[in-house]
Amino acid sequence: MGNSKLYKGSLNTIILKLLEEKGKMYGYEITQKVKELTKGELKITEGALYPALHKLEAEGLLDVEVAKVDNRLRKYYKLTEAGEKETVNRLAELEEFIRSMQNLVNPKWSIE
* Chain contacts with other proteins (rule: CB under 8 A): 26-29, 32, 45-47, 50-51, 54-55, 57-59, 64-66, 68-75
Four-point Cα dihedral 61, 7, 97, 108, nearest 10: -160
64/101 with CB nearer other proteins: 64
20/29 with CB nearer other proteins: 29
Instruction: Give dist(CA 48, CA 11) in Å, integer.
Output: 9
The least CB distance from residue 37 to other proteins, in Å, is 17
17/74 with CB nearer other proteins: 74
User: Among 9, 14, 71, which Cα is nearest to 38's?
Assistant: 14
The least CB distance from residue 53 to other proteins, in Å, is 9
> What's 84's DSSP letter?
H
